[in-house]
Structure 1
Amino acid sequence: MIQITFAEILEAAEQLSIEDQENLIDILLKRLRDCRRANLVKDVQEAQKEFGEGKCQPVTPEQLMEKILS
Protein backbone atom coordinates (compact mmCIF):
# COMPACT_ATOMS: atom_id res chain seq x y z
CA MET A 1 0.00 0.00 0.00
CA ILE A 2 1.31 3.43 -0.94
CA GLN A 3 1.44 5.94 1.90
CA ILE A 4 0.83 9.56 1.01
CA THR A 5 1.38 12.36 3.49
CA PHE A 6 -1.21 14.99 4.26
CA ALA A 7 1.09 17.64 2.80
CA GLU A 8 1.34 15.67 -0.45
CA ILE A 9 -2.44 15.44 -0.65
CA LEU A 10 -2.76 19.19 -0.13
CA GLU A 11 -0.12 19.86 -2.74
CA ALA A 12 -1.88 17.59 -5.22
CA ALA A 13 -5.23 19.26 -4.51
CA GLU A 14 -3.68 22.65 -5.23
CA GLN A 15 -2.79 21.40 -8.71
CA LEU A 16 -6.48 20.88 -9.51
CA SER A 17 -8.63 23.49 -11.15
CA ILE A 18 -10.84 25.57 -8.87
CA GLU A 19 -13.89 23.62 -10.08
CA ASP A 20 -12.20 20.29 -9.35
CA GLN A 21 -11.14 21.54 -5.91
CA GLU A 22 -14.76 22.50 -5.18
CA ASN A 23 -15.93 19.07 -6.38
CA LEU A 24 -13.31 17.41 -4.19
CA ILE A 25 -14.53 19.38 -1.17
CA ASP A 26 -18.14 18.42 -1.91
CA ILE A 27 -17.21 14.75 -2.23
CA LEU A 28 -15.19 14.78 0.99
CA LEU A 29 -17.99 16.52 2.90
CA LYS A 30 -20.53 13.97 1.65
CA ARG A 31 -18.23 11.09 2.64
CA LEU A 32 -17.71 12.61 6.09
CA ARG A 33 -21.48 12.97 6.56
CA ASP A 34 -22.00 9.37 5.46
CA CYS A 35 -19.30 8.16 7.83
CA ARG A 36 -20.73 10.13 10.76
CA ARG A 37 -24.22 8.88 9.94
CA ALA A 38 -23.00 5.26 9.79
CA ASN A 39 -21.23 5.67 13.14
CA LEU A 40 -24.35 7.18 14.69
CA VAL A 41 -26.52 4.33 13.37
CA LYS A 42 -24.04 1.81 14.80
CA ASP A 43 -24.04 3.57 18.19
CA VAL A 44 -27.84 3.67 18.30
CA GLN A 45 -28.08 -0.01 17.37
CA GLU A 46 -25.59 -0.93 20.10
CA ALA A 47 -27.52 1.16 22.64
CA GLN A 48 -30.82 -0.46 21.62
CA LYS A 49 -29.25 -3.90 21.97
CA GLU A 50 -27.88 -3.07 25.43
CA PHE A 51 -31.25 -1.64 26.45
CA GLY A 52 -32.99 -4.77 25.18
CA GLU A 53 -30.60 -6.94 27.20
CA GLY A 54 -31.35 -4.92 30.32
CA LYS A 55 -27.83 -3.52 30.57
CA CYS A 56 -29.06 0.08 30.82
CA GLN A 57 -30.37 1.79 33.90
CA PRO A 58 -32.59 4.88 33.72
CA VAL A 59 -30.96 8.05 35.06
CA THR A 60 -32.04 11.63 35.51
CA PRO A 61 -30.38 14.41 33.50
CA GLU A 62 -28.70 15.55 36.72
CA GLN A 63 -27.23 12.09 37.33
CA LEU A 64 -26.02 11.96 33.74
CA MET A 65 -24.32 15.35 34.04
CA GLU A 66 -22.67 14.29 37.31
CA LYS A 67 -21.23 11.23 35.59
CA ILE A 68 -20.06 13.24 32.58
CA LEU A 69 -18.38 15.90 34.73
CA SER A 70 -16.73 13.46 37.15
Structure 2
Amino acid sequence: MTFQEIIDSIETLPVEEQEYLFELIRKRRIENRRSEIAANAQEIFKAVDAGTAMKGNFEDLKSYLLAEDEE
Protein backbone atom coordinates (compact mmCIF):
# COMPACT_ATOMS: atom_id res chain seq x y z
CA MET A 1 0.00 0.00 0.00
CA THR A 2 1.44 3.38 -0.96
CA PHE A 3 1.49 6.40 1.29
CA GLN A 4 -1.16 8.08 -0.84
CA GLU A 5 -3.38 5.00 -0.63
CA ILE A 6 -3.10 5.09 3.14
CA ILE A 7 -4.09 8.76 3.19
CA ASP A 8 -7.01 8.06 0.89
CA SER A 9 -8.16 5.21 3.15
CA ILE A 10 -7.95 7.42 6.22
CA GLU A 11 -9.98 10.11 4.51
CA THR A 12 -12.82 7.64 3.99
CA LEU A 13 -13.12 7.08 7.76
CA PRO A 14 -15.63 9.03 9.81
CA VAL A 15 -14.16 12.09 11.52
CA GLU A 16 -14.35 10.44 14.95
CA GLU A 17 -12.35 7.45 13.75
CA GLN A 18 -9.80 9.73 12.10
CA GLU A 19 -9.37 11.62 15.37
CA TYR A 20 -9.03 8.34 17.28
CA LEU A 21 -6.42 7.12 14.78
CA PHE A 22 -4.41 10.35 15.03
CA GLU A 23 -4.49 10.23 18.83
CA LEU A 24 -3.43 6.58 18.80
CA ILE A 25 -0.52 7.33 16.47
CA ARG A 26 0.52 10.32 18.61
CA LYS A 27 0.51 8.20 21.78
CA ARG A 28 2.49 5.42 20.12
CA ARG A 29 5.07 7.93 18.87
CA ILE A 30 5.41 9.30 22.40
CA GLU A 31 5.86 5.80 23.81
CA ASN A 32 8.43 4.91 21.13
CA ARG A 33 10.37 8.09 21.91
CA ARG A 34 10.29 7.25 25.63
CA SER A 35 11.70 3.83 24.82
CA GLU A 36 14.49 5.40 22.76
CA ILE A 37 15.33 7.80 25.58
CA ALA A 38 15.38 4.93 28.09
CA ALA A 39 17.69 2.90 25.84
CA ASN A 40 20.02 5.89 25.45
CA ALA A 41 20.06 6.37 29.21
CA GLN A 42 21.01 2.72 29.71
CA GLU A 43 23.93 3.16 27.31
CA ILE A 44 25.05 6.25 29.21
CA PHE A 45 24.84 4.41 32.53
CA LYS A 46 26.96 1.59 31.07
CA ALA A 47 29.54 4.11 29.82
CA VAL A 48 29.65 5.78 33.24
CA ASP A 49 30.07 2.41 34.98
CA ALA A 50 32.80 1.43 32.50
CA GLY A 51 34.54 4.77 32.94
CA THR A 52 34.29 5.61 29.25
CA ALA A 53 31.76 8.43 29.58
CA MET A 54 33.10 11.92 29.06
CA LYS A 55 32.39 14.45 31.75
CA GLY A 56 32.58 18.20 31.60
CA ASN A 57 30.68 21.32 30.78
CA PHE A 58 29.41 22.63 27.46
CA GLU A 59 32.74 24.25 26.58
CA ASP A 60 34.57 20.96 27.22
CA LEU A 61 32.20 19.09 24.94
CA LYS A 62 32.37 21.76 22.27
CA SER A 63 36.18 21.67 22.30
CA TYR A 64 36.17 17.88 22.10
CA LEU A 65 33.78 17.82 19.16
CA LEU A 66 35.61 20.54 17.28
CA ALA A 67 38.93 18.76 17.83
CA GLU A 68 37.45 15.60 16.30
CA ASP A 69 36.44 17.54 13.18
CA GLU A 70 40.02 18.76 12.70
CA GLU A 71 41.47 15.26 12.72
What letter corresponds to residue 41 of structure 1 in structure 2?
A
In 1, Cα distance between the equivalents of 2:22 and 2:62? 37
RMSD: 1.4
TM-score relative to the length of structure 2: 0.83
In 2, Cα distance between the equivalents of 1:30 and 1:46? 25
Name structure 1 gaps, 5 residues minimum: none
Query: More helix by proportion, 1 or 2?
Result: 2
Name structure 2 gaps, 5 residues minimum: none
Give the paired residue count. Answer: 66
> 4+ residue runs of structure 1 moved beyond 6 angstroms?
none
In 2, Cα distance between the equivalents of 1:57 and 1:41? 19
Greater shift in the superposed pair: 53-62 or 21-30: 53-62
